[in-house]
């Protein structure tokens, strides 16, 4: 195609020899203009396939973006690269390789709609511009059609060659606003497709973008969750070493109608960042106080000592003005005595508070409310600091319990647990071990003098009705005792 002008030029020269000088000049000028235009056109075409090249593609993409901005439309950019194309040149020679590229171009063109642009960037790489996408998913659908178009083998001389391609897809406006940016994002997606083994389609969303999108959507759902009553409290029992029920930890559960149960580890940090933990935390506190007061009224919690309700509190709540008043109100409204409520604050959180943030805790402690340090052992508390805090309870982090009986060669946490229990007792604190899963752990904790146990061995978190059934069965037997501890016999 590029050399098609050679013979014509000679014919032209033959023709103008017959003309007079004036006419010759006019004809030559006209011909030069024609050639210039043709050259300009050629500079926008790929020499092998005759398809638009990268320059023309970029011009058309910029135009398409202008139109789409005006009409609020979507534009798709697909970049594709033939996997291991060098192999084709090795097998069929350069001329054969060029011929395969032309065939590829024709097949791809056939799979596109009128108005779409297919460009060849050389070296087995193509780009498709989809200027009028009905919706973002349309671009992926087109990439699938292009992929299908390449499925049948390509004749190359006497043989047939199978080809696969990798595809990167991105869409204006969601994946980028500028032509260059969209091309780069389609290329990034293409590289990901290659990294993942080739022969596949990848859409542009960096892991970051994907995470951000998911977080945004989750946050939106979280905003509606309180109103839609999607939260529930679950209750996990805590037992004394002699088998009596000592308390219950209230744990928040979120059951989204479409997403299903979302784990607290996922939504609580998000609720904290978006400050939604303030209304959610207040609901959790009020709801669990209400429930506990109800169990009190039903006579299900009366033992030698009142059952303690432990509620988790987040950093943000703690630094909220007059937060202690909110707790006082929840207690007053439910009728629960302050001594029956224990607020759990994680160690790492309390370590970050200034003395003024501790004040509401101190005021609450003065009313009789109990205060526990949760996940103790992970936040590097200085012992002196611990002494100055208005606390009643230390909850040993699960990680220490899990490594109490280490496998050979691994360091066991037993000396640390022993030291923490001794320290806590010297400060007059109660020690609760979290995440007790095996009888071996329970026995070891018993030997080390731990006060209370919480974990799957003794009872999983249960919804209110399930926990109520547990309370009823224990009350019916006349004692608040855990079967798992009883089996071993009271030891202390």
- Give the range of 90-98, 204-212, 263-271, 350-358 binding ligand C2E by CB under 6 A: 263-271
* Binding partner of 435, given Mg ion, ligand C2E, none, CB within 5-8 angstroms per partner class: ligand C2E
Give the range of 97-105, 106-114, 259-267, 376-384 binding ligand C2E by CB under 6 A. 259-267
Strands 117-122 and 154-156, sheet pairing: unpaired
Residue 123, class by beta-carbon neighbours within 10 Å (0-12 exposed, 13-18 middle, 19+ buried)?
A: exposed
CB-based contacts of 91: which residues, under 8 Å, 6+ apart? 156, 159, 161
Binding to ligand C2E by residue 252, rule CB under 6 A? Answer: yes
Part in contact with ligand C2E (CB under 6 A); list of ranges 124-132, 297-305, 448-456, 466-474:
448-456
By CB under 6 A, residue 284 contacts ligand C2E? yes
- From the list 75-83, 90-98, 123-131, 455-463, the region that binds ligand C2E by CB under 6 A is 455-463
CB of 272 closer than 8 Å to CB of 442: no
The 3-state secondary structure of 367-422, one letter per residue: HCCEEEEEEECCCCCCHHHHHHCCCCEEEECHHHHHCCCCCCCCCCCHHHHHHHHH
- As a three-state string, the secondary structure of 410-454 is CCCCHHHHHHHHHHHHHCCCEEEECCCCCHHHHHHHHHHCCCEEC
Q: Which of 123, 121, 118, 100 is nearest to 108 (CA)?
A: 118
For Cα atoms 206, 207, 208, give the angle at the middle one, nearest 5 degrees: 85
Minimum separation from the CB atom of position 456 to ligand C2E (A): 4
- Residue 399 binding ligand C2E, by CB under 6 A: no
Q: Is residue 374 involved in binding ligand C2E (CB under 6 A)?
A: yes
Backbone φ and ψ for 214, nearest 5 degrees, come out as -65, -40
CB of 262 to ligand C2E, least distance (A): 10
How long, in residues, is the chain?
492
Map the footprint of ligand C2E across residues 5-34, applying CB under 6 A.
Answer: none
For residue 268, the partner it binds in Mg ion, ligand C2E, none, with Cβ less than 5 to 8 A by kind, is: ligand C2E
Distances (CA, A) of 90 to 29, 48, 154, 197: 46, 18, 15, 21
Angle between helices 86-111 and 137-149 (to 10 degrees): 120
Give the nearer residue to ligand C2E in terms of CB position, either 58 or 353.
353
Residue 224 CB, nearest approach to Mg ion (Å)? 26
Q: Choose among Mg ion, ligand C2E, none what residue 281 binds, the Cβ cut-off being 5 to 8 Å by kind.
A: ligand C2E
CA distance 396 to 222: 30
Residue 392 binds which one of Mg ion, ligand C2E, none, with CB within 5 to 8 A depending on kind?
Answer: none
> Is there binding between residue 455 and ligand C2E (CB under 6 A)?
yes
| Residue 390 touches which member of Mg ion, ligand C2E, none, C-beta under 5-8 Å by kind | none
Using the rule CB under 6 A, which residue among 77, 104, 251, 373 binds ligand C2E?
A: 251
459 near ligand C2E (CB under 6 A)? no
268 contacts ligand C2E (rule: CB under 6 A): yes
Asked if 456 interacts with ligand C2E (CB under 6 A), we say: yes
Asked if 481 is part of the footprint of ligand C2E (rule: CB under 6 A), the reply reads: no
* Distance of alpha carbon 194 from alpha carbon 182, whole angstroms: 18
Residues that bind ligand C2E (CB under 6 A): 236, 251-252, 263-265, 268, 281, 284, 312-314, 344, 374-375, 398, 434-437, 454-456, 461
């Amino acid at each position: 195609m590029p050399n098609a002008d050679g013979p014509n030029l000679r014919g032209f020269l033959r023709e103008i020899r017959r003309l007079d000088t004036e006419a010759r000049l006019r004809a030559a000028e006209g011909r030069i203009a024609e050639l210039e235009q043709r050259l300009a056109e050629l500079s926008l075409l790929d020499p092998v396939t005759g398809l638009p090249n990268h320059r023309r593609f970029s011009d058309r993409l910029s135009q398409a973006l202008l139109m789409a901005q005006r009409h609020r439309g979507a534009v798709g950019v697909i970049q594709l690269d033939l996997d291991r194309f060098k192999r084709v040149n090795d097998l069929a020679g350069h001329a054969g390789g060029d011929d395969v590229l032309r065939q590829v171009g024709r097949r791809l063109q056939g799979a596109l709609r009128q108005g779409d642009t297919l460009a060849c960037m050389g070296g087995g790489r193509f780009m498709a511009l989809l200027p009028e996408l009905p919706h973002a998913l349309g671009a992926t659908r087109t990439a699938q059609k292009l992929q299908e178009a390449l499925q049948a083998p390509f004749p190359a001389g006497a043989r047939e060659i199978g080809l696969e391609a990798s595809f990167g897809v991105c869409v204006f406006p969601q994946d980028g606003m500028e032509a260059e940016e969209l091309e780069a994002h389609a290329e990034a997606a293409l590289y990901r497709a290659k990294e993942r083994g080739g022969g596949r389609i990848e859409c542009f969303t960096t892991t970051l973008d994907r995470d951000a999108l998911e977080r945004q959507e989750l946050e939106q759902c979280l905003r509606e969750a309180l109103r839609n009553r999607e939260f529930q409290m679950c209750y996990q029992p805590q037992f004394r070493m002699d088998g009596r029920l000592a308390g219950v930890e209230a744990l928040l559960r979120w059951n989204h109608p479409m997403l299903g149960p979302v784990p607290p580890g996922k939504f609580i940090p998000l609720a904290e960042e978006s400050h939604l933990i303030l209304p959610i935390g207040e609901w959790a506190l009020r709801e669990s106080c209400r429930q506990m007061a109800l169990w009190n009224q039903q006579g299900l919690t009366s033992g030698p000592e009142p059952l303690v309700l432990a509620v988790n509190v987040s950093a943000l709540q703690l630094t909220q003005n007059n937060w202690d008043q909110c707790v006082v109100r929840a207690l007053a409204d439910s009728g629960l005595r302050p001594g029956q409520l224990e607020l759990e604050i994680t160690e790492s959180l309390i370590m970050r508070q200034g003395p003024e943030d501790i004040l509401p805790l101190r005021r609450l402690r003065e009313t009789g409310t109990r205060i526990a340090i949760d996940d103790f052992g992970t936040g590097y508390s200085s012992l002196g600091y611990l002494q100055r805090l208005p606390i009643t309870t230390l909850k040993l982090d699960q990680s220490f319990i899990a490594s109490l009986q280490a496998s050979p060669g691994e360091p066991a946490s037993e000396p640390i647990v022993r030291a923490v229990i001794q320290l806590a007792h010297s400060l007059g604190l109660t020690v609760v071990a979290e995440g007790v899963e095996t009888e071996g752990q329970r026995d070891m904790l018993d030997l080390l003098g731990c006060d209370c146990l919480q974990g799957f061995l003794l009872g999983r978190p249960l919804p209110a009705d399930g926990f109520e059934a547990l309370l009823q069965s224990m009350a019916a037997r006349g004692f608040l005792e855990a079967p798992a501890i009883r089996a071993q016999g009271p030891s202390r």
